[in-house]
Amino acid sequence: MESAIIIVHVVMAIGIIGLVLIQQGKGADAGASFGGGASQTVFGASGSGNFLTKTTGMLAVAFFVTSFALAVIAKNKAEEVSTIGLPTVAAPTETVDTPAPAPTGDLPTGN
């Protein structure tokens, strides 16, 4: 189930990228008003903004749904791992270093 959601997620991401790259910016409408490009559009003189905008919105909503589903699956897997009872690494105990005893015997003096 998870691999199917990942495949759909990736396909939707590629689709969103493609749709965004196909769409014209708002500045492109100024050139079309002087007669340039309107006859060369695939979607007719009315433009493709409405169709592409709605399609991009639907893909974006589906992308967020699959993102949420993948997050829930990851959360459930993390809970399963924590309830299995895997051993955890114990924190090291802090040791207190005691100073070495002073040497006894003949020590050279500074005279």
Per-residue pLDDT for 25 more than 90? no
C-alpha 29/C-alpha 27 separation (Å) is 5
- Which residues lie below 8 Å from residue 42, measured CB to CB, with a gap of 6+? 48
pLDDT for 11: 95
Task: Encode the chain in three state secondary structure.
Answer: CHHHHHHHHHHHHHHHHHHHHHCCCCCHHHHHCCCCCHHHCCCCCCCCHHHHHHHHHHHHHHHHHHHHHHHHHHHHHHHHHHHHCCCCCCCCCCCCCCCCCCCCCCCCCCC
Tell me the per-residue pLDDT of 93-108, one tens digit each, with 9 for 90 and over: 777 777 777 767 666 6
CA angle, corner 53, sides to 60 and 61, nearest 5?
15
pLDDT tens-digit readout, 30-82: 555 565 555 555 555 555 568 888 999 999 999 999 999 999 999 998 888 77
